[in-house]
Amino acid sequence: MGEIIDKLKGKAKQVEGDITGDRERHAEGRVDEAKGKAKGAFEEIKQDVKDAFKK
């Protein structure tokens, strides 16, 4: 769930940065979005490991 929030927060910051011309804010948004994607990938791997041990 946290990964979704980070992705949305990142997108919002990117749009805010684009609208205001704030390159730092846009970059912050890209970092937040990447963090959300990484969290999502980690959760998928964690679930795959759990599923492998159940078999």
* Residue-number span of the structural domain to which 46 is assigned: 2-54
pLDDT at residue 54, as a whole number: 85
Tell me the pTM: 0.80
Residue 39, burial from CB neighbour count under 10 angstroms (0-12, 13-18, 19+): middle
Q: What is the number of domains present in the chain?
A: 1
pLDDT at residue 1, as a whole number: 74
pLDDT at residue 49, as a whole number: 94
At 2-55, the pLDDT tens digits run 889 999 999 999 999 999 999 999 999 999 999 999 999 999 999 999 999 987
pLDDT at residue 35, as a whole number: 95
pLDDT at residue 2, as a whole number: 81
